[in-house]
Structure 1
Amino acid sequence: MTRHFLRTQLFCLLIFSSLLPSSSLAQADTTLWVVRPADVIAPASLAIAGLLTQGKISRHLQENVVSRYPHFHSNIDDYLPYAPGVISLGLAASGVKGKHSLGDQVILALLSNVIAQGVTQSLKRVIRYPRPNCEDYHSFPSGHSTTAFTNATILHEEYGQRSVLYSIGGYGTATAVGTLRVLNNKHWLADVLMGAGVGIGATKVLYISYPWLQKTVRKMKH
């Protein structure tokens, strides 16, 4: 392993661990902090997979993709990342009851995307990993994948309990975005996996902490 790769692993693990909910914090008030294993397993697994596939595995996959689809080009991956979030807010606006009201969903969507992109853009500028098409050095993690999985998690959290089809549709759309980023030669597999982990992790943390945030805001008003 190169020194750059080890530095990337360490930095990403430190950043990502700060996103994951702390068990001791969660136990401080069980009426506010409810952390399930699934809240941690999915984003952590994706982030670890992103670190493990960075380098040789991602380069080998990209060589195969480019050789098989040398002229592939699509712009749909610039719009799809927002689709699950738009659907969630659209359902709430039309009166379909989700986990939160429309107003709270708007706040959660804004904060989730801001936090997730804040982490992703910070990693991009610190790590400076080259894109497969050599366009720039802002490849790792994938910002499009972060946005897609952030919004897919919002749809899952709000309406997944009503029907698993919402979750399948949201995460299916996000997976399509990640696939298109690779096919367009904009990102490595590792970029997509880490972006997915950051998007899910940031959104899970916000949903877990939101009752505490609401309670804190109400206290400040009184």
Structure 2
Amino acid sequence: MKKLHSLDGRAVSILFLFGGVVSVHAQDSLYHTILPDSVVSDNTHHLKLKTLVIPTVLTGTSAICVHNGWLTKQREDIQDKLSAKGEHKVKIDNYLQYTPMLAVYGLNLFGVNGKHKFWDRTGILAMSYATMGILVNGMKYTFKEKRPDTNARNSFPSGHTATAFMCAEFLYQEYKEVSPWIGYSGYLIATATGYLRIYNNRHYLNDVVAGACIGIISTKFAYWLYPKIFTKSKCRHTPFQALGMPFYTNKTLGMNVSMLF
């Protein structure tokens, strides 16, 4: 029994020593937040699945409205109330959709730096645009929904709205830590773009909702994917973190380990 107690004591000491080393390593990785930009943690490249649930559900619900009789009738009633029925059309939405994207480069030009340097930022934007384009055009070809004002069957989803919200999410990711108001302003502009697509009688409400969700998802996906493809980019990765806590109960030795990567 004495030998067993002695062995248990040594084992516990080793576990605590190991736990202390892992804990110190984890704490050291947390201190990266005060080191130069090359190693500062960057949470823009995290993709939490729960953040995709609502956009995905809304896109699916919007798709049901395309060929569902009762929902289609509700959609058309909303269209009558929100649109100008083809009269008094404005063209500002053709340009407004790009405003949040231009704001990212404009702010940087005036010395207000965002999260990423020029080339990484541009690469992420290009990947966002490509993802959004594939999703929007693929769904337009699949659903072939007729536009409110013409016989063209490419209404669902709204490409203008998708672009606007893609750019808004881009602005938000780059500047949310500089100022939340800068990030939120992009969504206000994107919402205005979506409304104008309805006002101009170019899209139904479900087209706009789906476009907004696709735009947001596309940008989130690009931020997550970019550093995985371009591993030598200057994106600031969150370092591996681990915390180990040993325990000893009823002659049972163990280790609780928590990891973030």
Q: Give unpaired runs (5+ residues) of structure 1.
A: 1-30
Find the partner of 2:75 among 47, 58, 62.
Answer: 58
Query: Residues 45 and 197 of structure 1 are in contact (CA less than 8 Å); yes or no, is this contact kept in structure 2?
Result: no
Which is richer in helix?
1
Q: Over aligned residues, Cα RMSD in angstroms?
A: 2.4
| Counterpart-to-counterpart distance in 1, 2:232 and 2:99 | 31
Q: Which residue of 2 aligns with 1:86?
A: 102
Query: Residues 50 and 194 of structure 1 are in contact (CA less than 8 Å); yes or no, is this contact kept in structure 2?
Result: yes
Q: Give unpaired runs (5+ residues) of structure 2.
A: 1-42, 67-71, 235-261
DSSP-derived class of the 1:138 partner: coil
Which is richer in strand?
2
Q: TM-score, normalised by structure 2?
A: 0.65
Find the partner of 1:177 among 181, 193, 204.
Answer: 193
- For 2:48, the aligned partner's letter is R
Q: Which residue of 2 aligns with 1:21?
A: none
Find the partner of 2:164 among 142, 145, 148.
Answer: 148
| Counterpart-to-counterpart distance in 2, 1:117 and 1:204 | 14
- For 2:74, the aligned partner's letter is I
Query: Residues 132 and 186 of structure 1 are in contact (CA less than 8 Å); yes or no, is this contact kept in structure 2?
Result: yes
For residue 181 of structure 1, report the CA deviation from its aligned partner.
0.3
Q: TM-score, normalised by structure 1?
A: 0.76
Q: Which residue of 1 aligns with 2:55?
A: 43
- Give a deviation string over 1:31-59, Cα, whole Å, max 9, x none: 99632356314422431442355423211
Query: Residues 143 and 195 of structure 1 are in contact (CA less than 8 Å); yes or no, is this contact kept in structure 2?
Result: yes
Give the number of aligned pairs: 187
**Max Rg structure:** 2
For residue 125 of structure 1, report the CA deviation from its aligned partner.
1.6
